[in-house]
């Protein structure tokens, strides 16, 4: 793993409310320094994609059932720490989720039925 890449990742996570447990994630990289997603779980692949998305520093993020394959600890971190932190940075976040335990975090809640978006009147 290049030190430049790790440095970029560290810089991203300095601005987040509490550190992600990403170091152990990168320790899975073989000694050949080549990264293969074959050995990663779906949740780990999503975390890697999240790191790449954060490195791109876009103004809009779309997360479609992103937390569905995460362990409970990381799911809670995603909804209660990461998304509010991105919002505080002025990012627009569109998060699709069936997990109603975290609906209260949204500024605006919309529902879809039969593939049509139903906008709430809030």
User: How confident is residue 122, by pLDDT bands cut at 50, 70 and 90?
Assistant: very low
Q: What number is the average pLDDT over the span 39-49?
A: 81
**114 is in which domain, residue-wise?**
3-118
Rounded CA gap, 108 and 121, in Å? 9
Structural domains in the chain (count): 1
For residue 68, give the CATH number of its domain: 3.40.50.300
CB atoms under 10 Å from CB of 76, counted, come to 15
What does the radius of gyration of the chain's CA atoms come to, in whole angstroms?
16
- Using the structure block, give the residue that is written with the tokens 């073989």: 30
pTM above 0.85, yes or no: no
pLDDT tier at 19 (50, 70, 90 boundaries)?
low
User: pLDDT of 51-107, one tens digit each?
Assistant: 888 888 899 999 999 998 888 888 888 899 889 989 999 999 989 888 889 888 888
Residue-wise pLDDT for 105-115, tens only, equals 888 888 776 66
pLDDT of residue 27: 53
The residue count of the chain comes to 122
């Amino acid at each position: 793993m290049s030190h430049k890449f790790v440095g970029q990742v560290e810089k991203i996570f300095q601005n987040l409310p509490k550190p992600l447990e990403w170091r152990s994630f990168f320790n899975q990289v073989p000694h050949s320094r080549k990264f293969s997603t074959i050995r990663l779980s779906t949740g780990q692949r999503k975390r890697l994609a999240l790191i790449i998305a954060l490195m791109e520093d876009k103004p809009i993020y779309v997360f479609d059932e992103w937390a569905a394959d995460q362990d409970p600890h990381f799911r809670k971190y995603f909804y209660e720490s990461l998304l509010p932190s991105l919002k505080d940075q002025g990012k627009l976040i569109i998060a699709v989720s069936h997990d109603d335990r975290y609906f209260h975090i949204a500024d605006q809640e919309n529902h879809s039925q039969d593939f049509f978006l139903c906008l709430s009147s809030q």
